[in-house]
Amino acid sequence: MARRRPGLAWCFLLTSAVSFVHLSCTRSQAPSRHPAARSDAALRRAVAEPAAEPPEWRSALRRLLLARRSATRQAALKELAEVYDDASGEIFAEVEKYAQQMEETPTLQMLRLRPFLGYRSACASLYRTVRDHILPQQADSPVVVQKQSREGEQRLRSDAMDAEGKEAPLAASKARALFVALRQLTNSDPWSLERSAKSKDEDWAARTPKLETPKYEVVSRDALSGFEVREYAPYAVVQTRQGAEVANNRSFFMLADYIFGKKNVRNEKMAMTTPVQMDRDSGAMSFIMPSKYWTSLETAPAPAENSGVLLQERPVETLAVSCFGGYALQATVAKKTEELIDFVEKSETWEIVENTTRLMQYNDPFTVPWKRRNEVSIPVRAKAR
């Protein structure tokens, strides 16, 4: 009998464990008003996948939000871009839904488990970035979300420079804002993107794309206002012949046709440069030519007859400049220009040569507002002493 006691003990423990599990399951099936039980129920509802067949874009969105490899995220973004025209409303609704769910259940905001709550937390973080840091910036800006075909290639394009003074539909604004954020996720996760959006970094050099740009030397800088006076070395541009009567979107593509070889006599493709310039008085838009043509513009390919653009040399010039971030909206540009002119008029050192201001935009249309670099400038000279 002594030899059987260990076996009886194990049987007793096993029976007790089974009874405990059964009792726990029975209790979990019964309704409870205890706060902990309600939290558990909310957690189970949040984790549960919908029974309906998931839309074709959800898998790509999940990979873009949660994948660890950049190549995987890039492939996912490409998949989303192909269906984004038709699915942007559904995608935004899903991101917004999970953000609201997180706000209703605050404890879920701390959970980023892959692949369950991580997807919802990522959606919530992405939504906060769009709602708080992108949509307000592009308020009242004209927004275009459309496919443009160039040499058979279909691509999604949305351009903040399409300034026609018209308010964009809310759905289009949301679609553009979300896609701008999604494009950042090939090199970042949603939570890092949100932290970046909250930062106040104004390192203009870091906001400048690694493209050729005119060379200049800062000869004066006002520490209080941040306004600079720069002396630019000679460079060259390709510029639209027509000005304000040509919509900015058309101007952009006229210049792009020349740069990418579609409308120059040699069909020569050139590398992109920065910034894109817009003259206030004439309304003409300009792209910077590659540096090999800055001092020998006559060697550059001539524009095609129907291109609507011309080549122009820019000699040495001294400009007073004001930098600002965000989108270059008309109201913002007007305010920054007025402040710059007022600064020069009150200066004891500099005076305006001619009241011809220029807007310079350094980033592509999909760059997020807090990483954008814009400038307004006006020609100045030193006052005679």
Q: The CATH number of the domain where 356 resides is what?
A: 3.20.80.10
Residue 221 sits in the same domain as residue 163? no
pLDDT for the residue numbered 57: 95
Question: In terms of domains, do 223 and 149 share one?
Answer: no
Burial class of residue 21 in the structure, from the number of CB atoms within 10 Å of its CB (0-12 exposed, 13-18 middle, 19+ buried)? exposed
47 lies in some domain: no
What is the residue-level pLDDT of the chain in tens, covering all 385 positions?
Answer: 444 444 434 433 334 443 333 333 333 334 444 444 444 555 455 455 545 677 889 999 999 999 999 999 999 999 999 999 899 999 999 999 999 988 887 666 555 444 445 898 899 999 999 999 998 887 655 444 444 444 444 344 444 334 444 445 668 888 989 999 999 999 999 999 999 999 877 788 999 999 999 999 999 998 888 899 999 999 999 999 876 556 567 888 899 999 999 999 999 999 999 999 999 888 899 999 999 999 999 999 999 999 999 999 999 999 999 999 998 888 899 999 999 999 999 999 999 998 899 999 999 888 899 999 999 999 999 998 7
Q: How much is the pLDDT for 41?
A: 52
Contacts 24+ apart (CB under 8 A), 150-156: 150/260, 150/262, 151/262, 154/82, 155/81, 156/81, 156/84, 156/85
**Domain assignment present for 69:** yes
Q: Which pLDDT does position 34 carry in this prediction?
A: 43
Whether 153 maps to a domain, the answer reads yes
Supply angle C-alpha 164, 170, 176, rounded to 5. Answer: 75
| 189 and 107, same domain (yes or no) | yes
Other residues' Cβ atoms within 10 Å of the Cβ of residue 39? 13
Owning domain of residue 328: 216-382
The pair of structure tokens assigned to 108 is 């879920």
Judgement on whether residues 78 and 190 belong to the same structural domain of the protein: yes
104 and 186 share a domain? yes
pLDDT at site 13 = 39
Phi-psi label, residue 68: left if phi above 0, alpha if psi -120 to 50, beta otherwise: alpha
**Closest to 350 measured CA to CA, from 229, 231, 223, 233:** 229
On whether residue 255 sits in a domain, the answer given is yes
φ and ψ at 216, to 5 degrees? -150, 165
Do residues 158 and 111 both lie within one domain?
Answer: yes
* Length reported for the chain: 385
pLDDT value of position 165: 43
- Residue 5 covered by a domain: no
Asked if residue 191 and residue 95 are part of one domain, the reply reads yes
Say which residues have a Cβ less than 8 Å from residue 6's Cβ, sequence separation at least 6: none
DSSP 186-200: TSS-HHHHHHHHH--
User: Do 237 and 182 sit in the same domain of this protein?
Assistant: no
Residue 84 lies in a domain: yes
Task: State whether 194 and 221 are in the same domain.
Answer: no
Q: How many domains does the chain have?
A: 2
DSSP state letter for 131 = I
Q: Can you give the pLDDT at residue 226?
A: 86
Q: Is residue 42 part of a domain?
A: no
* Eight-state DSSP code of residue 246: S
Q: What is the pLDDT of residue 104?
A: 83
Q: Are residues 179 and 222 in the same domain?
A: no
Do 95 and 180 belong together in one domain? yes
One domain, residues 173 and 266: no
